[in-house]
Amino acid sequence: MQKEGSRSEGRLLCAILIVAICLTLAPVARLFVEGLTDQGTFGFTLAGKVLAQPSTMSALKHSLITASLGTLVSLVLGAAFAFLVALTDLRAKAALVFCLMIPMMIPPQITALSWTQIMGPSSVLLKTLGLAPPLGSSQPLYSAEGIILLLGIQHMSIIFLTLRAGLRAIPQETVEAARISGARGMRTWWQVILPLTLPSLAAGTAITFVTALGNFGIPAMLGIPAGYVTLPTLVYQKLAGLGTSVLAEVSVLAMLIGAVAVIGILAQRFFQTQQRVYLVGSTSRPLAIPLGAARLPVEILLWAIVCTILVLPMFGLLATSLVPAYGVPLRFDTVTLTSWVEVLLRQPVTARAFVNSFGLAFGAALVLMILCLPLAWLMERSPTRLSRLFDSLLDLPYALPGVVLSIAMILLLINLPFTDATLYGTIWIIFFAYLARFFAVMFRPLQASLKQLDPAMGEAAQSVGATLFQRLRDVIIPLSAPAAAAGAILVFLTAFNELTVSALLWSSGTETLGVVIFNLDDSGETAMASALAMTIVMVVMLLMVLVQLLSRRFPKGVVPWQT
């Protein structure tokens, strides 16, 4: 006889849970300790000193301004698209949704690079069309407004997705009931639909704010040239300029960003719980309000916006990558693939970065899949108090700004306990940081799919005598394989393009693709940066198309842009 029938399950859960907690929550806890101690003693003296510096306060102000106004831009764009796509009878919705997802999947430094290619005096595209402003005039995007605009575009997908999910949860009956009760026109909108969607809108806004706050690529590419410093770029500048001697100071800054982010995360959690109240009634038929004669003009307008924010910058990027030197107009006689050949085939750093990024992304996806599959199942089947706590905290490394996680990782791994060894400066610190950061990206789709799995599947195997290992191998893993694959592709996609974490953790030899693009642009090699960026955009699109094609085989809720 055994104590408790689920003893083996309990043991395995405990073991994996400890590994997962060490990976994801230990760095965050380590950072917290560092921020509160000054040379080994608890206290707020260092924190007070750092917070009193004028650069800290101005960076905080800049961060808050760009993040909140950027969120506003996302809100306007994302909400408009979400209402129109979710509630009306537009055509080609699937294509529209797919296109709206692309800005989120394209790394922010590439977004910033591509937009600078369609504006300013040296824009190849504008020169080619003869529209370029005179030399000497400034790049309009190198400003707070530029950062706000691009943050808004980058994150509009988040608002779009959360709001659309909320709108689709409204049963058509609620609107029909309002109509039959005599509510006309706009009355239905502001008395029925809007109140029902406010929680999801608020939750989406909060998480967009947190993401915008943590964004590094856009303020780094646009703000640093303009001398407009936000908190993440301040941390980067300090660490890049002064090395690990300023680690204590920088961790106070990281905690400051973290604190603002946590407020946003808590707000999002709060609104999400509010939302659950409304999930009543059948949602088999989502709303479809006919637009009538306005349909075609609305469709043209929406696609025009999609073209402006998606296609136009890509053309700018392409144009820049095809000229022999930055600033030369693109003509039949000037078009050349030199930059492509140079950056993809000749530069050893690019080849190294490809290997690094590919290995890191692939390794992270693989390790996370192996870790998350049994963990998600065991947490679903036999939850413990610890596993529930972990469930509520595991989003933290992903939701917290990347800068915060990077600093936390340095603190944790710069001096391995009980040894003199350090992982700082090696590829492993980036790898562990990726494991922590993308844990939620892998775990949540798996969890969603396992929640839909009939618990009787495992119990049936158990009742015919299958041990825990046999149940996992023969029943649970084959059944959750599609979700695991989708999660792995998403992890790969995000890790492949990652900049924020690796920008703080890289050293010579461990560059990632994100770092290489950033450095190429920084050193004025804009054409090569554009060629590399175009390559990455194509890889991203290819992977997204792959997920899209496979999406029919995935359970509901696994692919983030599918419902």
Partner 1 sequence: MADITLTSVGKTFSGSPAVQDISTRFNDGEFIALLGPSGCGKTTLLRLLAGFEMPSQGTIRIGDRDIADGHTGKMVPPENRNMGFVFQSYALWPHMSVRRNVSYPLEIRGFSKGDIATQTDAALTATGLGEYAARMPSELSGGQRQRVALARCLVSDPDAVLLDEPLANLDVALRASMQTVFTDFHKRTGATMVYVTHDQAEAMAMADRIAVMDNGRIQQFDTPQNLYERPKNRFVAEFVGLGTVVPMRGVEKNETSSHGHVLGQRIAVKSTHDCPSHVCLRPENLTISETGDLRAKVARVTYLGGKYLLETVSECGTRLLAETRAKFDVGVQLGLTITTPWAFYED
Among residues 404 and 476, whose Cβ is nearest to partner 1?
A: 476
Find all residues with CB under 8 Å of 265, minimum gap 6, and list them.
206, 207, 210, 395, 396, 399
In this structure, are residues 220 and 208 in contact, taking their beta carbons and an 8 Å threshold? no
Q: How many residues bind partner 1 (CB under 8 A)?
A: 25
Determine whether 50 is exposed, middle or buried from the number of CB atoms within 10 Å of its CB (0-12, 13-18, 19+): buried
State yes or no: residue 454 binds partner 1 (CB under 8 A): yes
Cβ contact 495:441 at 8 Å: no
Sequential DSSP letters for 138-184 = --TTSSHHHHHHHHHHHHHHHHHHHHHHHHHTS-HHHHHHHHHTT--
Identity of the residue, 206 or 486, whose beta carbon is nearer to partner 1 in the bound complex: 486
Of 15 and 460, CB closest to partner 1: 460
| For partner 1, the closer CB: 135 or 464 | 464
Rounded to whole angstroms, how far apart are CA atoms 500 and 502?
A: 6
Q: How far is the CB of 466 from partner 1 (least distance, A)?
A: 5
Structure tokens at 397: 């490394």
Nearer to partner 1 among residue 89 and residue 459 (C-beta): 459
72-111 residues near partner 1, rule: CB under 8 A: none
Report the C-alpha gap between 433 and 73 in whole angstroms.
31
Alpha-carbon distance of 222 to 144, in angstroms, equals 8
- Shortest Å, Cβ 3 to partner 1: 5
Distance of CA 316 to the CA centre of its chain: 24
Type of residue found at 174: T
Q: Which CB, 470 or 507, lies closer to partner 1?
A: 470
CB of 451 to partner 1, least distance (A): 15
Among residues 177, 224, 479, 550, which is the contact residue for partner 1, using CB under 8 A? 479
Q: Which stretch binds partner 1 (CB under 8 A): 174-182, 318-326, 454-462, 537-545?
A: 454-462
CB of 468 to partner 1, least distance (A): 8
Query: What residues are paired with 88 via a beta bridge?
Result: 289
420 lies in the site for partner 1, by CB under 8 A: no
In 3D space, the residue among 4, 8, 1 whose CA is nearest the CA of residue 468 turns out to be 8
Name residues contacting partner 1, limited to 4-63 (CB under 8 A): 4-8
Any contact of residue 480 with partner 1 (CB under 8 A)? Answer: no
* 8 A C-beta contact, residue 328 and residue 124: yes
CB of 442 to partner 1, least distance (A): 21
Residue 478 engages partner 1 in binding (rule: CB under 8 A):
yes
Closest CA to 66 of 137, 155, 161, 160: 155
For partner 1, the closer of residues 280 and 456 by Cβ is 456
User: Looking at beta carbons only, is 105 or 475 nearer to partner 1?
Assistant: 475
Minimum CB–partner distance for residue 155 and partner 1 (Å): 38
| Minimal distance, residue 467 CB to partner 1, in Å | 6
Check residue 1 for interaction with partner 1 (CB under 8 A). yes
Residue 240 or residue 460: which is nearer to partner 1 going by CB? 460
Q: How far apart are CA 308 and CA 311, in angstroms?
A: 6
Site for partner 1 in 456-475 (CB under 8 A): 456-457, 459-467, 470, 474-475
Distance, in Å, from the CA atom of 515 to the CA atom of 353, rounded to the nearest integer, reads: 8
Q: 316 or 555, CB closer to partner 1?
A: 555
Q: Which stretch binds partner 1 (CB under 8 A): 122-130, 217-225, 308-316, 450-458?
A: 450-458
Q: How many CB atoms lie within 10 A of CB 263?
A: 13
Residue nearer to partner 1 on the CB measure, 10 or 363: 10
Please compute, for residue 212, the number of CA atoms within 13 A of its CA located in the half-sphere on the CB side: 34
List binders of partner 1 among 198-217 (CB under 8 A).
none
Q: Which tokens in the block code for residue 536?
A: 């990455």
The residue among 461 and 520 lying less far from partner 1, judged by its C-beta, is: 461
Please, are residues 102 and 497 in contact by the beta-carbon 8 Å criterion?
Answer: no
Q: Which amino acid is at 58?
A: S
Provide the minimum distance between the beta carbon of 6 and partner 1 in the complex, in angstroms, as a whole number: 7
Distance CA 207, CA 71 (A): 9
Q: Give least dist CB 473 to partner 1, A.
A: 11
Q: Which range, of 244-252, 255-263, 346-354, 453-461, touches partner 1 by CB under 8 A? A: 453-461
Alpha-helical runs (H) found in 41-171? 45-52, 54-87, 93-105, 108-116, 124-129, 144-168
Per CB under 8 A, the segment of 99-107, 160-168, 449-457, 490-498 that binds partner 1 is 449-457
Contact between 407 and 449 under an 8 Å Cβ cutoff? The reply is no
Closest distance to partner 1 from the beta carbon of 366 (Å) = 22
* Nearer CB in complex with partner 1: 316/458: 458
**Of residues 333 and 454, the one with the C-beta less far from partner 1:** 454
The least CB distance from residue 375 to partner 1, in Å, is 21
Near partner 1 in 52-71, by CB under 8 A: none
Smallest separation, CB 477 to partner 1 (Å): 10
Q: Token match 């994302």: residue?
A: 78
3 near partner 1, rule: CB under 8 A: yes
Which tokens go with 294? 């306005």
Q: Which stretch binds partner 1 (CB under 8 A): 62-70, 248-256, 284-292, 451-459?
A: 451-459
Minimum CB separation from partner 1 for residue 475, in Å?
6
Q: Cα torsion at 319, 323, 329, 333 (round to 10°)?
A: -110
Minimum Å distance from CB 176 to partner 1? 31
Smallest Cα–Cα separation from 31: which of 414, 515, 510, 470? 414
The verdict on 392 binding partner 1 (CB under 8 A) reads no
Under DSSP, is residue 289 helix (H, G, I), strand (E, B) or coil? strand
Binding site for partner 1 (CB under 8 A): 1-8, 454, 456-457, 459-467, 470, 474-475, 478-479
